Each structure stands twice: as structure tokens, then as C-alpha cells.
Amino acid sequence: MKQRLERILEEIKSYDYNTLSYPLIFYCLALSVIGILAIHSATGGNMTYVTKQVVGLVAGILVMAVMALVRYDIIARYYWLLYVLNLIMLLLVHLIGTYRGGAKRWIVVGDIMFQPSELSKLLLLIFFSSLLAHNRTALNSIKFFAFTCAAFAVPILLIVTEPDLSTSIVIFIMFCAIIFIGKFYYKIIRNVLLIVIPALALLITLIFFLPPEKNIIPVYQYNRLVGFYDPDNEIAADIRYQQENSILAIAGGSLTGKGLNNNSITSVKNAEFISEPQTDFIFTVIGEELGFFGSLVTVVLMALVVIECFRIGIRARENIGKCIAIGYGTLIGTQAFINLSVVTMLLPNTGLTLPFVSYGLSSLTTSFLGIGIVLNVGLKKKFSL
């Protein structure tokens, strides 16, 4: 035990902390502070939400610090174990999960509500980054490519059937980034695209042109996706109502906003025209109460998080580090883009939160967990152990 402790201390001392990305830590903390202030205002000063979010932030900082000191390549050695653990969690959602908002995505343990699909993003990122790194000689094999896609399909089907289509889309885009960075033989990717692109075009055509009762997707998804673009769809109009209010709120914020915790009778938030603004529509609160400047700061900070993850990935010594850092930057960027597009009514409502900002302990803690691993990718050694 003593020798193991000495080994851990020696490992911690071996890092050159001048190479630690302090800006990335600052960007994430700044976003979280903005989120806590916005959540306080969005919930009418309800300290229960604020306290839980602060607890999530503290827990996130702790796990970030720990993961920043644990060599990512050691974690990656157990990638198959992480994959199996991920499948078990997703299966538990289907078996003992709790419904909320018409979806079965949560597992409740005591007073804690945990969403396994949040952790799945990170576990699948590590798994596929490790899988490609440990099978470099097989990357020119169509058989291995098919195996990789099959390994991806299993957890994605479990997430889609919760149902959680939006999270599945984010993970899919992250997976595509890993495939690209992993340097699969370009002819394999080209041949796959020759099949996938026409199939995807046919799928989109069927979704948009078949009537709801004969469509290949459930009616509620049809109304949310297709009806979003159909001004005559009354059901979709009810769904769009919250997004329309979101636009009014953001526009009403003008340059400097109406102020946090304001009592303005013209406030869309105060009129409760947006349900649960502390989660998916937290940016609406920021836009209305902090105005254009507050919104701009939030967007810039989010972009800087993504850029810094990419920068760390580009400078990584090993390909697995590149895949993890750039893949995580892609994940954060994609989720933020979709969330911001929803609140500004550019995309249908998806139910995705804004990373580091929206209310949610599992989302916030997992986000910092991922940042910790990215930080470790960027750390350099002073000497070889």
C-alpha cells in the first residue's frame, strides 16, 4: 500500500504543470458561474436548484482535478470494461428507469436522479478512441470498420429507444469525428459514404413526405420535426410556442438585458411563458436578463472551450489523445450549437441542455469529468517514469 501511494505521488510530481491548460479551466468555471446566476433567476430565487447546481459544480471540480492527474492512457487500457459498464447502465434505464417528460432516461437513487446517457457520451468517446488506437493495423479492413459500426449501433439503439434522439445525434457526430481522426483507410470511408448518403436522403424524403399516420417515425417525432417547418400543423404550433416565446425574450433583452432577478412585467420569464427555463432554455434567460453582451460572453466562452479542446488534441503526442480531446471538443460544440439553435428557433426542440450552464447534476459533473481527461491529454511529463 505504501509503495502504491509513493508511486501515485511520484506520478503526480512527474507532470510539468506549466503545460496545463489553465484557460480551459477558467472558461468552464466562468460558464458554470453564469449558469448558476441564470438558474437562480430562472427559478425565482429557488435555492434548492441553486444549491444542487453548486454541489454539482464542486463535485465537477473535484472529479476534473482527479482525472487531470490520472494518465488517460491507463484509463484507456480498460476500454472494453467501460463499454460493458455503459451497456449495463443503459439496460438498467430500460429495466428500472424513471419516466419524466414522456421519456425513460433517468435512474433514481435516493434523492439523486442520474441520466446514464450523459455519461455514455464520455464512455463511448474513450472506448472508440481506444479501440482505434489499439487496432492501428486493422484500420484498412472493411471487416474492422463494420465491427466498429456494430459496436456503436448497440448503445445508440438503447439510447434512441429511451427515447433520446437528440443525444444519439450528438454521439453520432462525435463518433464521425473519431472515425475521421482515427484515420480509417479513406477508400473504406468513401465506399461507406456512397451507401449512407443516398440511404439518408431516402430516409429524410420518407419522413418529410409520408403522412403522420403512415410515417416511419412516431407521430410525436413527426410533429416535432416535420411540423416545425409546417405553419399549418396545429400540434406543431403548440410545440413551437415555447420557442417563439424564447425569441421574444432574447429580443426583449436588447443590449444589456433587464437584469437578473428582475420584476419586470414585460419579462417573458416572469410571465412563465417558458416551462423549466433552468434546463433546455437557460440561454433564453441569459438573453433576456443579461442582454446581447451577456449572450455574447456565453457564446464566446463556449467557443473557446471547443477551440482549446481542439488545440490540446492537435498537440497530443498519441493518436488516442487526439481522438479524445478533439472528439470531446466536437461533442461540446455540437451540443451547444443544437441548444442555441433550438432557443433561437433555427431547429426543432430537441431537449438538449447547454453544457456547463444548464441545470443538471449529472450533466455538469460529467462535463467536468470529460474536461479533466482532456486536461490530462495536454499535460507533459518532466521525466519518464
Close Cβ partners of 18 (under 8 Å, ≥ 6 residues apart): none
Using 50, 70 and 90 to split pLDDT, how confident is the model at 234? low
pLDDT of residue 63: 95
Q: What is the mean pLDDT of residues 228-255?
A: 78
Nearest to residue 51, comparing CAs of 62, 65, 61, 36? 36
Q: In the chain, which ranges are E strands?
A: 15-16, 98-100, 103-109, 112-114, 380-381
From 37-41, 91-95, 239-243, 325-329, the region with the lowest mean pLDDT: 239-243
Domain count within the chain: 1
pLDDT of residue 352: 87
Residues found in the chain? 385
Q: 282 in a domain, yes or no?
A: yes
Written as nine digits, the cell of 1 is 500500500
Is residue 321 in some structural domain?
yes
Q: How confident is the model at residue 74 (pLDDT cuts 50, 70, 90)?
A: confident
Assigned domain for 201 exists: no
Domain of 361 in residue numbering reads as 21-183+234-378
Is 112 inside any structural domain? Answer: yes
Q: Give the 3-state secondary structure of 249-312.
A: HHHHCCCCCCCCCCCCCCCCCCCCCCCCCCCCCHHHHHHHHHHHHHHHHHHHHHHHHHHHHHHH
Instruction: Find all residues with CB under 8 Å of 97, minimum gap 6, and list them.
Output: 104, 105, 106, 107, 162
* 267: Cβ contacts below 8 Å, ≥ 6 apart: 249, 252, 258, 288, 289
> Is the pLDDT score of 170 beyond 80?
yes
In the predicted model, is pLDDT for residue 254 greater than 70? yes
* Proportion of the chain above pLDDT 90, given as a percent: 43
Residue (of 186, 165, 363) closest to 278 by Cα position: 363
Evaluate if residue 375 carries a pLDDT over 70.
yes
Out of 19-33, 39-53, 210-224, the most confident range is: 19-33
Report the predicted TM-score, pTM, of the whole model to 2 decimal places: 0.90
Average confidence score pLDDT of the chain: 85
**Which pLDDT band, with edges at 50, 70 and 90, does 203 fall under?**
confident
Decide which of 221 and 42 is more confident. 42
Residue of 167 and 236 predicted with greater confidence: 167
- The pLDDT value given to residue 26: 97
Work out the average pLDDT over 168-187: 84
Taking only the tens place, the pLDDT of each residue in 137-151 is 888 888 888 899 999
Helix (H) or strand (E) segment spanning residue 73 = helix 72-76
pLDDT value of residue 385: 39
Residue 375 and residue 201: Cα distance in Å, rounded?
A: 39
Q: What is the pLDDT of residue 216?
A: 72
At which residue does the C-alpha cell 434567460 appear? Answer: 285
Give me the DSSP letters along 125-137: HHHHHHHHHTTGG
Q: Kindly tell me if the per-residue pLDDT of 187 is higher than 80.
A: no
pLDDT at 207: 73
DSSP, res 18: G
Residue 82: the pLDDT is 95
The answer to whether 38 and 53 have CB atoms below 8 angstroms apart is: no
Q: Is the pLDDT of residue 384 over 50?
A: no
List pLDDT tens digits, range 94-106. Answer: 888 787 766 778 7
How many angstroms separate the Cα of 74 from the Cα of each of 55, 69, 77, 120, 312? 28, 11, 5, 19, 18
Record the cell numbers describing residue 33, joined without a space: 458561474
Helix (H, G, I), strand (E, B) or coil at 203: helix
For range 114-133, the mean pLDDT: 91
- Name 322's Cβ contacts closer than 8 Å, sequence gap at least 6: 181, 313, 314, 316
93, part of any domain: yes
Among 173, 182, 79, 89, smallest CA distance to 126 is for: 79
Mean pLDDT of 344-367: 89
SS3 content of the chain, % helix, strand, coil (to 5): 70, 5, 25
**Grid cell digits, residue 355:** 453544457
What is the model's pLDDT at position 293?
A: 94
Taking residue 153's Cβ as centre, other Cβ atoms within 10 Å add up to 11
Which range in 216-220, 271-275, 348-352, 353-357 is most confidently predicted, on average pLDDT?
Answer: 353-357
Tell whether 313 is covered by a domain: yes
216 domain-assigned:
no
Judge whether 213 lies within some domain.
no
